[in-house]
Amino acid sequence: MRKRKLGNSNLEVSALGLGCMGMSFSYGPAGDRQEMIALLRAAVERGITFFDTAEVYGPFTNEDLIGEALSPVREQVVIATKFGFKLDPTGAKAWLGLDSRPEHIKQVAEASLKRLRIEVIDLFYQHRVDPEVPIEEVAGAVQDLIRDGKVRHFGLSETAPQTIRRAHAVQPVTAVQSEYSLWWRHPEAEVLPTLAELGIGFVPYSPLGRGFLTGKITETTTFDSSDFRSVMPRFTPEARKANQAVVDLLGAIATRKRATPAQIALAWLLARQPWIVPIPGTTKLARLEENIGATAVELTADDLRDIESASAQITVQGARYPEHLEQMTGR
């Protein structure tokens, strides 16, 4: 698989990473541990070197899974994890609020290092901006961890341009992670231009619209009660019916390119900038291989113009998050 560098940093990763959250959390019951370990190792064998996790996924169990699966191939991979939530130590609730106090960041780093079975975190993101803690203090805490050899690179997630600039002035930001896909293009307005100016890489999560852009979800699809999509406004039956137009667009291009809708959605992201590295998640080997196939799909200038003009005629329906969660993004 081709490699990409995240912005001006020296952090080189596979052009496509693997989002690991769904193996433990959020999209229904957790996957079988041994099957997930096999899938993670299969990803490495197929050239994926960039793996994304967080302490809140589980909570805690996803980092532990990643640690066991990747410890035999540690020198071949880049592991990103995140801090910023106040978590219930019993695991009964995923999170209790935000907490990016410097002392807490350092505690999270130590605990994550143990669960991940590593000596240094390759990329340490603030998961969500904490309005109670100045971003300069957050950047300073991560800078201390970098100086101590416990973290290599600093990242931010779902962050507004002015916050990125303030953090970057204290400790250079290697990557910003936010949702980005053909059905959520908000980062294009201000975030992507800021990253281009500052030389920061971009890591789109949910690049397949939480599965919707694969074409496998319809208005009649039902979700398990433990599946986060069951409470997301964009996944009501009415919204899914209205948003089918996006999938139809991808399907039309896919037929022309002898690819799948998912591969076109990922290829579109890869074509946007050389410093964009999507991290689609999956629990199935066939889907993993399908996603990897996107790196071989070449979209021409005509293809990109067709996608742009057609998507401009589509208004995506439904908020991406329930209101209380959306309030924590873009700060």
pLDDT tens digits, one per residue of 169-226:
999 999 999 999 999 999 999 999 999 999 999 999 999 999 999 999 999 999 998 8
Return the domain boundaries, the chain. 3-326
Taking only the tens place, the pLDDT of each residue in 150-180 is: 999 999 999 999 999 999 999 999 999 999 9
> Model pTM?
0.97
Q: What residues contact 128, with CB distance under 8 A and at least 6 apart?
A: 84, 85, 98, 157, 158, 328, 329, 331
Beta bridge partners of 238: none
pLDDT for position 151: 98
Return the CATH architecture of domain 3-326: Alpha-Beta Barrel (3.20)
Q: Is 321 a catalytic residue?
A: no
pLDDT for position 95: 79
The answer to whether 286 touches 211, Cβ cutoff 8 Å, is no
**Residue type at 143?**
Q
pLDDT for position 323: 86
Query: CA 166, CA 160: separation in Å to the nearest integer?
Result: 10
Residue ranges, the chain, pLDDT below 50: none
Active-site position among 27, 57, 125, 180: 57
